[in-house]
Amino acid sequence: MSELDFDELNFDLNFNKMGNGLVPAIAQDHESGEVLMLAFMNEEAWRVTRETGLATYYSRTRKTLWTKGKTSGNVQKVREIRVDCDDDSVLLKVEQVGGAACHTGRYSCFYKKLNGNEIEIMGDPVFDPAEVYKK
């Protein structure tokens, strides 16, 4: 049992706000503070995340539950869960296994920096997606 395993919460997340049963969830490196990615959770993803201690989201394109890192091995171990003032957003402080959250092989998904009118790519991939995802 993970220390983050709690099934009877004393409050409810507001899954109705977005109109599609989802809430946005931010994953942040629990040590560096870097924001790694943003994804969405439905009620099941929220429960599975708490029960397993592994960040689990809802894929809007594949319409399925998605435990981050299931394919790549780069899972996110949840160290702390925060909820915002309106109970409609989640912040996960995670240990990012493998040192990369992004499917491009980079540490953070937010690697595109606006520089004037241009996009500047920040950070090199730490793994080769073609190898990891066997594309």
* Footprint of a copy of itself (CB under 8 A): 4, 6-11, 17, 19-20, 24, 26, 28, 32-35, 37-38, 50, 60, 80-87, 89, 91, 102-104, 106, 109-114, 116-119, 122
Do residues 82 and 18 lie in contact, with contact meaning Cβ atoms separated by under 8 Å? no
Beta carbon nearer to a copy of itself, 49 or 75: 49
Residues near 21 by Cβ (< 8 Å), separated by ≥ 6? Answer: 15, 42, 43
* Shortest Å, Cβ 122 to a copy of itself: 8
User: 45 is written with which tokens?
Assistant: 């993803």
CB of 78 to a copy of itself, least distance (A): 10
Nearer to a copy of itself, 77 or 103 (CB): 103
Write down the least CB distance from residue 39 to a copy of itself, Å.
Answer: 9
Smallest gap from residue 28 Cβ to a copy of itself (A): 6
Measured distance CA(9)–CA(56) in Å, rounded: 18
Nearer to a copy of itself, 13 or 75 (CB): 13
Q: Compare residues 119 and 126 and give the one whose CB is closer to a copy of itself.
A: 119
- Measured in whole angstroms, the distance separating CA 71 from the mean position of its chain's CA atoms is 14
The rounded distance, in Å, linking the Cα atoms of 92 and 76 is 9
Output 24 or 98, the one with its CB closest to a copy of itself. Answer: 24
21 burial type by CB count under 10 A (0-12 exposed, 13-18 middle, 19+ buried)? middle
